[in-house]
Amino acid sequence: MSTITIKSPREIELMRVSGKITAAARSIGREMVTPGVTTQEIDKEIYKFIKRSGAEPSFLGYGGFPGSACISVNDEVIHGIPGKRLIREGDIVSIDVGAFIGGFHGDCCGTFAAGKISEEARRLIEVTRQSFFEGLKFAREGYRVSDISHAIQDYVESFGYTLVREYVGHGIGKNLHEAPEVPNFGEPGHGPRLVRGMTLAIEPMVNMGGAAVRVLDNDWTVVTADGSLSAHYENTVLITDGEPEILTMAEDL
Ligand code: MG
């Protein structure tokens, strides 16, 4: 990856716009996660919303990806391809979306329950979400990237869950993926120092079982090697001179 880009106040304003649309697209996905709906139907509504907002779906065509959202069910970690798969009662469904407008991307994700889910699955979702906020505590000037990573790992592993290592968070801006990489594991005190104007997609991917993953024959979808459930939570975050600002903020965050 290239050098870390520091966003100007004007660029930050543009990223607030793309972030808001991205967050709203995630909310649409969240509302649609119910038994009986196909992942394709969810993707279609997300596509329509992003286009209606004057933006472009960041993921559509990215490396040839065929959807506007990555929709990953149960043991699917990331990069689930929207299709005819019917969501069933008890499934957990990750909706990962990106929107590009004004020259900048937003990127966010959440894992949501289809109908009534098991207590174990609910806990996995909640711990994954909270781990993002544990990492966020270190998304401030003066800390280093791996301080975020370590806080996420520490929290997640205290529940006996594991973190995916092959895929990591990232800088974001004019490009969907920029420097630096933001791993969800590691010792504190390493990596680039955080400074105001940096924008990071922080995205813990948490497995209920082992950390190992594999890629399906479609060359996209990453699943847990042991078939255990996986959850994902992500927001685009701006480093400021004080509290970090979540650019993909939404009421149902
Ligand atoms: Mg991302």
Go through the domains of the chain in sequence order and give each one's CATH number: 9-246 (3.90.230.10)
Ligand 1 mean position, distance from CA 70 (Å): 10
- pLDDT at 230 (0 to 100): 99
Q: Which residues contact 145 (CB under 8 A, 6 or more apart)?
A: 180, 181, 182, 190, 191, 192, 194, 200
The confidence score (pLDDT) of residue 252 equals 80
From the CA of 170, how far away is ligand 1's center (Å)? 7
Q: For residue 48, how far is the Cα from the chain centroid? A: 20
Predicted model pTM: 0.98
Per cent of the chain over pLDDT 70 is: 100
Measured CA to CA, the distance from residue 101 to residue 105 in angstroms comes to 7
How far is the centre of ligand 1, averaged over its atoms, from the C-alpha of 177 (Å)?
Answer: 7
Residues with CB under 5 A from ligand 1 (ion): 107, 201
What are the structure tokens assigned to 239, written together? 């480093």
Residue 217: the pLDDT is 98
Q: How far apart are the CA of 201 and the centre of ligand 1, in A?
A: 6
- Measure 80 CA to ligand 1 centroid, in angstroms: 14
Output the CA 23–ligand 1 centroid distance in Å.
13
Distance between Cα 81 and ligand 1 center (Å): 15
User: Residues in the chain with pLDDT < 50?
Assistant: none
- Report pLDDT digits (tens) over 101-123: 999 999 999 999 999 999 999 99
Spatial CA neighbour of 75 closest among 100, 94, 97, 103: 94
Res 143: pLDDT: 98
Measured in angstroms, how far is the CA atom of residue 233 from the centroid of ligand 1?
Answer: 9
190, 233 Cβ separation under 8 angstroms: no
